[in-house]
Structure 1
Amino acid sequence: CAGVSHDGRIVVTGAEDGLVCVWRVSKDGPRGTRRLRLEKALCAHTAKVTCLRVSQPYMMIASGSDDCTVIIWDLSSLSFVRQLPDFPVPISAIYINDLTGEIATAAGTVLAVWSINGDCLAVANTSQLPSDSVLSVTGSTSSDWLETSWYVTGHQSGAVK
Structure 2
Amino acid sequence: MRVSMPAVAVWGRIAPSHSITAIMITDDQRTIVTGSQEGQICLWDLSSELKISSKEILFGHTASITCLAKAREFEKQPYVVSATENGEMCVWNVTSGLCIENTKLPYRHTAIYVSTKTFHEISPFIIRGVFPLLT
Shift of 1:110: 1.5
- Aligned counterparts of 2:73 and 2:117: Cα–Cα separation in 1: 7
The corresponding residue for 1:119 is 98
The corresponding residue for 1:68 is 39
1:139 aligns with 2:118: no
TM-score (norm. length: structure 1): 0.59
In structure 1, runs of 5+ residues without a counterpart are 1-42
The corresponding residue for 1:103 is 80
- Asked if the contact 2:92–2:99 (Cα under 8 Å) also holds between the matched residues in 1, the reply is yes
Q: Describe the superposition over 1:115-135 as per-residue Cα deviations: whole angstroms up to 9, x where unpaired.
A: 1222222112233xxxx3111
The corresponding residue for 2:61 is 87
- Aligned counterparts of 1:87 and 1:110: Cα–Cα separation in 2: 7
Question: Measured at CA, do residues 47 and 75 of structure 1 come closer, stay the same or move farther in structure 2, by a change above 3 Å?
Answer: closer
In structure 2, runs of 5+ residues without a counterpart are 1-13
Moved runs in structure 1, 4+ residues, more than 3 A?
140-143
- Asked if the contact 1:140–1:150 (Cα under 8 Å) also holds between the matched residues in 2, the reply is yes
**Secondary structure of the residue that 1:148 maps to in structure 2?**
coil
- Aligned counterparts of 2:25 and 2:58: Cα–Cα separation in 1: 16
Match runs of 1:29-68 below 5 Å:
46-57=17-28, 59-68=30-39
- Aligned counterparts of 1:105 and 1:148: Cα–Cα separation in 2: 17
Question: Matched residues, percent identical?
Answer: 19
- Aligned counterparts of 1:73 and 1:142: Cα–Cα separation in 2: 29
Shift of 1:44: 5.2
Shift of 1:46: 1.5
- Asked if the contact 2:61–2:88 (Cα under 8 Å) also holds between the matched residues in 1, the reply is no
Whichever structure has more strand as a proportion of its residues is 1
Question: Measured at CA, do residues 47 and 110 of structure 1 come closer, stay the same or move farther in structure 2, by a change above 3 Å?
Answer: same
- Asked if the contact 2:32–2:44 (Cα under 8 Å) also holds between the matched residues in 1, the reply is yes
For the aligned residue pairs, the C-alpha RMSD in angstroms reads 2.6
